[in-house]
Amino acid sequence: MRFPLPLVPATLLRRYKRFLADVQLADGREVTVHCPNPGAMLGMARPLARIWLSPATAPGRKLPFGWELEEVDGHLVGIHTGHPNILLAEAVAAGRIAELAGYGTARREVAYGRNSRIDLLLTQPGFQDEPGRPPCWVEVKNVHLRRGDRAEFPDCVTLRGAKHLEELGDRVEAGDRAVMVYVVQRGDCRGFAIAGDLDPGYARALVRARARGVEILCYYCDVRTDGIEIARPLPLMLDAPGC
């Protein structure tokens, strides 16, 4: 995924009301920008952090910029929660996700479950007498939290995330394949774990989902000021206490 226009460097002054942030541009101007991350942003959104903004181009946008990246401990971190879906779809189409290769069609935002939409539905129909592969339902979650040397999810309580795990388990029991993919928008972690202390309910939901046959994948990203792309798998650390 390439940013369509060069990103603009800035200094974060404060983030507030979930979707807003005040920043200072290099020329000294202070402006309000869109924050495309409704979560807690634990460990990030620190005043005086160095950040990068994308110029607004869509018609009707009221704010001049959208917040894209933040520098944390010398590393770039993507904060836009809408990007992982795009990143995974691009990587699957390019054949860079070995576990999700071999499907003929990919559809995004397909309705399923209880008022939910799956991020990516992969299918491979059969031909003549050859049986097809079962549909593969792929849910994607954005990860930016780092504690120690591990990327962790979630950074706050997410009832919606636990609901998605339950619905993925339902697809497995219906005879399909279901995969939960965590996309880490940073490249400075050595493994991935669930932040069970921050959301015990989600940790329990993941244990149940795995027991029902839901597959778990995690990939980290190469994050640059000109674009972001999925790089390589990140080892799972899901058997430790609290996972």
CATH number for position 140: 3.40.1350.60
pLDDT of residue 135: 95
Please indicate, yes or no, whether residues 140 and 39 belong to a single structural domain of this protein.
no
Residues 63-80: tens digit of each pLDDT: 999 999 999 999 999 999
Please indicate, yes or no, whether residues 65 and 100 belong to a single structural domain of this protein.
no
Measuring CA to CA, how many Å separate 27 from each of 11, 22, 23, 143, 188? 11, 15, 11, 32, 31
Residues 163-200: tens digit of each pLDDT: 999 999 999 999 999 999 999 999 999 999 999 999 99
Of the candidates 184, 194, 189, 190, the residue with the CA atom closest to the CA atom of residue 158: 194
Residue at 156 is within a domain: yes
pLDDT of residue 125: 77
> What's the whole-number average pLDDT of the chain?
94
Beta-ladder partners of 243: none
- Rounded Cα distance between 179 and 100, Å, is 9
Residues 12-58: tens digit of each pLDDT: 999 999 999 999 999 999 999 999 999 999 999 999 999 999 999 88
pLDDT of residue 133: 85
Residue at 241 is within a domain: no
Please indicate, yes or no, whether residues 216 and 179 belong to a single structural domain of this protein.
yes
pLDDT of residue 126: 64
128 phi/psi in degrees, rounded to 5: 55, -115
Rounded to 5°, angle at Cα 41 from 28 and 80: 75
pLDDT of residue 127: 59
Please check the confidence at residue 128 and state whether its pLDDT lies above 60: no
Please indicate, yes or no, whether residues 57 and 100 belong to a single structural domain of this protein.
no
Residue at 240 is within a domain: no
CATH number for position 19: 2.40.50.580
Please check the confidence at residue 60 and state whether its pLDDT lies above 90: no
Residue-number span of the structural domain to which 164 is assigned? 83-233
Residues 117-127: tens digit of each pLDDT: 999 999 987 65
pLDDT of residue 241: 46
As for how many domains the chain has, the answer is 2
Please indicate, yes or no, whether residues 172 and 219 belong to a single structural domain of this protein.
yes
